[in-house]
Amino acid sequence: MKKYIVFISCLVLMSFPALTHAQKQLNCNELQLIFNTKVESENGICSVEMFRKTIDVTHMDKKLSPKTMELVFHFSFEQVDNKHTAVMGELALLEEEVNPVMDELRKGGLEVSALHNHMIHERPRIMYMHFQGIGDMNKQAKTIKRAIDKTSK
């Protein structure tokens, strides 16, 4: 009888990670509607990546592609419990976009965790803003969308 109880207890304990993981699945389709772009989904994490193709940038007087220059809005969402989703991301911004985007992220309850450059000698000057937050996924996504709307996209 004791072996039977231990066996059943092990089965129950082994099933909890599966149950917990099942609770942590986000609906990435909601994000596709908000951002009007494809959203990648892997292991319960929804990732958005939008390249800034309208910015002509040079580095050391040579024109480079948005991909090479990392001119991208990139962020990922992961549900951390039944009520909260974590978001972390990075936005490639023109200098004049930094303050309006930062204001919008803060108004929506997201934290700006870093602002820096990746390169030197690029024109126009590109700044990279990192942000993070924990809360409601839809609220976070709409905040990020409003921040992106402050840019030339």
pLDDT attached to residue 26: 79
pLDDT attached to residue 14: 52
Along the chain (153 residues), what's the average pLDDT of each consecutive run of 10 residues?
A: 49 47 70 96 95 94 94 97 96 98 98 96 97 97 98 86
Helix (H, G, I), strand (E, B) or coil at 2: helix
Q: Are 143 and 31 in contact (CB under 8 A)?
A: no
pLDDT attached to residue 18: 43
- Domain limits at 69? 25-149
Whether residue 10 lies inside any domain: the answer is: no
Element (H, E) at 103: helix 98-107
- CATH number, residue 63: 3.90.1150
pLDDT attached to residue 128: 98
Question: Which tens digit of pLDDT belongs to each residue from 87-117?
Answer: 999 999 999 999 999 999 999 999 999 999 9
Whether residue 109 lies inside any domain: the answer is: yes
Cα–Cα–Cα angle for 18, 22, 26, rounded to 5 degrees:
150
Rounded Cα–Cα distance for residues 40 and 87 (Å)? 14
Whether residue 7 lies inside any domain: the answer is: no
Q: Are 120 and 72 in contact (CB under 8 A)?
A: no
Whether residue 16 lies inside any domain: the answer is: no
pLDDT attached to residue 99: 98
Whether residue 98 lies inside any domain: the answer is: yes
Q: Are 59 and 19 in contact (CB under 8 A)?
A: no
Q: What domain count does the chain have?
A: 1
Whether residue 14 lies inside any domain: the answer is: no
Whether residue 119 lies inside any domain: the answer is: yes
Q: Are 121 and 59 in contact (CB under 8 A)?
A: yes
Whether residue 69 lies inside any domain: the answer is: yes
